[in-house]
Amino acid sequence: MMAPRTAPDRTDAEAPERAEAVAHLIDALEALHAEMRREHVARSGDLARVHPNHRHGAANLLDYLVLRRHDIRSLQLDLAELGLSSLGRAEEHVITTLERVLDNLYLLAGRSERRRTESAVGFSAGRGALEGHADALLGPNRPGHATRILVTMPSEAAHDRSLVRALVAHGMGCARINCAHDDPAAWEGMVRNLRLAAAERRERCPVLMDLPGPKVRTGPIEIGPRVLRLRPRRDALGRPVEAARARLVAAPSGAVVERAGPEPVIPVDRGWLRHLGAGAVIRLRDTRGDRRRLLVVAASGDTAVVEAWDTTYLVTGTELVDAGGRRTAVGLLAGRQQALTLHVGDLLTMTADTAPVNPGKDAGRRHGGSPDRGRPGSFRIGCTLPAALDALAVGHRVLFDDGKIAGTVVGLRPGEADIRITFARADGAKLRAEKGINLPDSELDAPALSAADEPLLRFIVAHADLVGLSFAQRVDDVRRLQACLRDLDGSQGIVLKIETALGFARLPELLLAAMESERVGVMVARGDLAVECGFERLAELQEEILCLCDAAHLPVIWATQVLDQMARLGQPSRAEVSDAAVSGRAECVMLNKGPHIVETVGALDDILRRMSTHQQKKVPLLRRLRSWSPAGEEAPGADPVRQRAKRW
C-alpha cells in the first residue's frame, strides 16, 4: 500500500531565501553601525563641547541623524517579516536598538562571531534622560499627568491675582510672558502673582519670558476719524431689540483711554461724571445734528455705563448735557484703525520708510480702474525691519498677516521692494499696521538677540526661570545668548523657538550648540512655522521636530492655536480636540490667552490626562479597552455610565 503523500515543509523550502535575507539585513545594519561610529569621530569636537548632562543625548542625536540620512523603509519591512522589532521607535536609544536587532539577526543566522559593543544609551536610560531634562527645565509633572501645560499670561494677570490662582488650580504648570507685549511693570506684577499662587499650592510654576527677536511687521497706517458709532441691535423689521452700550470713563484732557472690556469707551471730565447716577439721562446732538439721549444704567466712581436706543455718532468735542444742565465735551476718542485693501494682482511697495501711510493718499487704482474691471492697484506700506528688504531677491515670496495675504517680489530698489499680490480674499484682504511679515525664501541678516535686547535680558535674569530665544535660526544666535547669560551670571534654561524655515533646516546644529547649556528645550511655534513652510507641511514638520528632540533627549513645547477657539469663544471645535489629544506627545503644551482661558486649561488638563493612559510619545501602551469588554468582565473603576447601563 502506497504511503500517503505529505506536503513539502515550507520552512525547509524557504530556508535558503530566508538565510539570504538575514545576511542582507546584517550587512545593511552593520554598515549603519559603522557609519555612526565614524560620525562620532568626525564630530568629536562638538561632542566634547556639550554639557556633561547632554553627552549621551548629543551622541544619540548624531546616531539618529545618520539613521535618517537613509531611506530605511525596505529594511523595516524585511525586519517585520522576520518578526523582529523594527527601528521605528529607536529615537531615544538608537545604537541600543540597532545592536539588539543585530544580535537577533546573528542568532537567526546561526553565527556567534559578533560581540555587541557597550551601548551609549539603554532603553530605560533614554526615556529617563528625557524625563529628567524635562523636569529640570519645566518642573516636575503633577501626579497622574504626563504633560505640562504652559499658559501665555494675559495683561490682566499683572493685577488680577484670583485669575492667576485659578489658572494654577486648573492645571497650569508653567507660565509664559511674551515680552513683545505689555511693559516691565506689568511683567513684574505677573511674576509676583505667579510666585504667590504657586507657593500657596506648594508647587513649582516656572516662568518663561520670550525675547521678542527680529519680528518683521508692517509699518504704521494713519489713524482714521476719531468717531464712535453706537448702534442698537434691530430685528428683521428694523425695530431696536437691544440697546447699544458704551462706558463713560474719567480721563485727563487729551488722553486716549484704551478699551478694556466689551463696551467702547467715551472719555469725559471726572468732575462732571461724578454727578451722574443710575437712571440719569444725557442729551446731545450727534455728528449729523440729530438729537440723541443716553441712559445711565450703572455708575460707580470714575465710570458709568450708558445705553443708546437710536444710532448715535460721537466725535471728540461732542457736547454732553446732563439733567441738571451741566455740560462737558467728549474727550479724545480712539481713532479708527485703517487698512489697505489688497486684491490679487495689486502692486504693494514695501519700504524702509516707516512714516504712517494714508490709505487714501498712498494707495490708488492705476489708470482709474478698479479690481472688478481687472485693473490692479498700487499701494505702499512700511517695513519695521529694514534688513528684511536687503534679504529679498526677485522671485522671493512675502507673506503678510499669518499668510492671509501673499505676494512675490517683482522689483527691488534701495530701501524698497515691489511685491505683486498673488493671494488674497476674492473680495479683498485688509492689511493693517503691525501685522507680521514672513520671508520664507530669504535669509534675514538680523541677529535673534541684538544689543537692544540686553536690558530686557537683564530683567529676565532677575525675574524668570527660562528665556525663550525667538526666531532662533543660527548657531551664533544661540552662542550669543549663552555668552550674555554667563556675563549676567544667569542660570536660566534656554528654550529655542523654531518658527522659520531656516530655523527648522538648521535644527540639528542649533540643538548641539544649545546643549552646551545645562537646561535646554525647544518650542515648536506652529503658527509662524506653518506660514513659512506651508500649512500642508505642518504635520510633517512637527513630527520631525518631535523625533529629533526625542533623539537628543530634549523636552518639546507644542505651541500655537491649541484649543484656540475654546480660549476665545468658550467652545472648542472638533478638530481642536483631536489636535489637543495629539499634543500630549510633547512634554509641554502651550495655550494662548483668551477670555475663557481658565476653562480651557481645565479641559486640556483632562484631555492630556486621559490620553496619557493610551500613548507615551510614539508608543501605544495598549491599556485594556473597557468600552467593549464582554458582559460581566467590567474592571474595577470602569465607566460608571456603563455600569448603570448594565443594571438597567
Give pLDDT tens digits for 113-148: 766 665 567 777 888 899 999 999 999 988 878 899
Min mean pLDDT across 208-217, 423-432, 468-477, 637-646 is at: 637-646
Whether pLDDT at 253 is above 50: yes
625: CB partners within 8 A, 6+ apart: none
Predicted confidence at residue 625, as pLDDT, reads 45
pLDDT at 454 over 90: no
- 369 pLDDT higher than 90: no
Cβ pair 250, 303 in contact under 8 A: yes
Secondary structure letter of residue 436 according to DSSP:
B
- What fold characterizes domain 131-147+445-620? TIM Barrel (3.20.20)
Cell digits of residue 478: 544661540
**H or E element in which residue 13 lies:** helix 10-42
Band of the pLDDT at 637, cuts 50, 70, 90? very low
Quote the CA–CA distance of 618 and 550 in Å, as a whole number: 10
Fold category of 345-438 in CATH: M1 Pyruvate Kinase; Domain 3 (2.40.33)
Q: How confident is the model at residue 61 (pLDDT cuts 50, 70, 90)?
A: very high
Predicted local distance difference test score (pLDDT) of residue 641 = 33
What pLDDT shows up at residue 120?
64
Please tell me whether residue 594 adopts helix, strand or coil conformation: coil
Percentage of the chain with pLDDT > 70? 88
Please determine, for residue 343, whether its predicted confidence score (pLDDT) is greater than 70.
yes
Enter the DSSP assignment of 365.
E
The CA distance from 124 to 622, in Å, is 19
Rounded alpha-carbon distances, angstroms, from residue 45 to 50, 87, 94, 152: 9, 28, 21, 38
State pLDDT tens for residues 494-544: 999 999 999 999 999 999 999 999 999 999 999 889 998 888 888 899 999
Q: Cell numbers of 177, please? A: 510672558
Could you please state the CATH topology (level 3) that the domain comprising 227-329 is classified under: M1 Pyruvate Kinase; Domain 3 (2.40.33)
Angle, to 10 degrees, between the axis of helix 55-67 and the axis of helix 123-138? 120
**Crossing angle of helices 123-138/94-109, nearest 10°?**
170
Q: What integer is the mean pLDDT of 198-205?
A: 94
Decide if 318 contacts 286 (C-beta within 8 A). yes
How far, in whole angstroms, is CA 415 from its chain's centroid?
A: 31
Q: Specify the amino acid at residue 16.
A: P
Provide the 3-class DSSP secondary structure of residue 16. Answer: helix
For the segment 423-446, the average pLDDT, to the nearest whole number, is 92
Backbone angles phi, psi at 226, to 5 degrees: -85, 75
pLDDT of residue 645: 32
H or E element at residue 195:
helix 184-200
Residue 361: left if φ>0, alpha if ψ -120 to 50, beta else—which one?
A: alpha
Mean pLDDT of the chain: 87
Give the pLDDT of residue 621: 45
> Is residue 196 scored above 90 in pLDDT?
yes
Tell me the percentage of the chain whose pLDDT exceeds 90. Answer: 68
Q: Are the CB atoms for 585 and 620 separated by under 8 Å? A: no
Residue 73 C-alpha cell reads as 523603509
- CA dihedral for 265, 268, 273, 277, sign (positive or negative): negative
Output 497 or 255, whichever has higher pLDDT.
497
Partner residues linked to 348 by β-bridges = 379, 419
Please tell me the distance from the alpha carbon of residue 232 to that of residue 274, in angstroms, as a whole number. Answer: 26
* Backbone φ, ψ for residue 544 (5° rounding): -65, -40
What average pLDDT does this structure show over 95-113?
A: 88
Q: What does the buried/exposed string (b/e) look like for 461-492 if buried means 16 or more CB atoms within 10 Å of the residue's CB? A: bebbbbbbbbbbbbeebbebbbebbeeeebeb
635 compared with 491, residue with greater pLDDT = 491
Cell of 134: 524635562
Average pLDDT over residues 630-642: 45
C-alpha grid cell for residue 260?
A: 478694556
Q: Does residue 428 contact residue 341 with C-beta atoms inside 8 Å?
A: yes
One DSSP character per residue, 144-177 reads T-SSEEEEEPPGGGGT-HHHHHHHHHHT--EEEE
Distance CA 118, CA 545 (A): 28
Query: Which is higher by pLDDT, 33 or 261?
Result: 33
623: left (phi over 0), alpha (psi -120 to 50) or beta: beta
pLDDT-based confidence at 373, cuts 50/70/90? very low
Q: Report d(CA 558, CA 545) in Å as an integer.
A: 10
Is the separation of the CB atoms in 265 and 334 below 8 Å? yes
Quick check: helix, strand or coil at residue 104? Answer: helix
In three state form, how does the secondary structure of 541-593 look? Answer: HHHHHHHHHHHHCCCEEEECCCCHHHHHHCCCCHHHHHHHHHHHHCCEEEECC
Instruction: Report the range of poorest mean pLDDT among 5-19, 64-78, 479-493.
Output: 5-19
For the entire predicted model, the pTM comes to 0.80
pLDDT value, residue 198: 95
DSSP 236: T
Alpha-carbon distances, residue 15 vs 108, 109, 495, 526 (angstroms)? 11, 11, 53, 50
Taken in order 524, 141, 595, 192, the sign of the CA dihedral is negative
Q: Which residues contact 439 (CB under 8 A, 6 or more apart)?
A: 216, 388, 391, 392, 396, 397, 398, 399
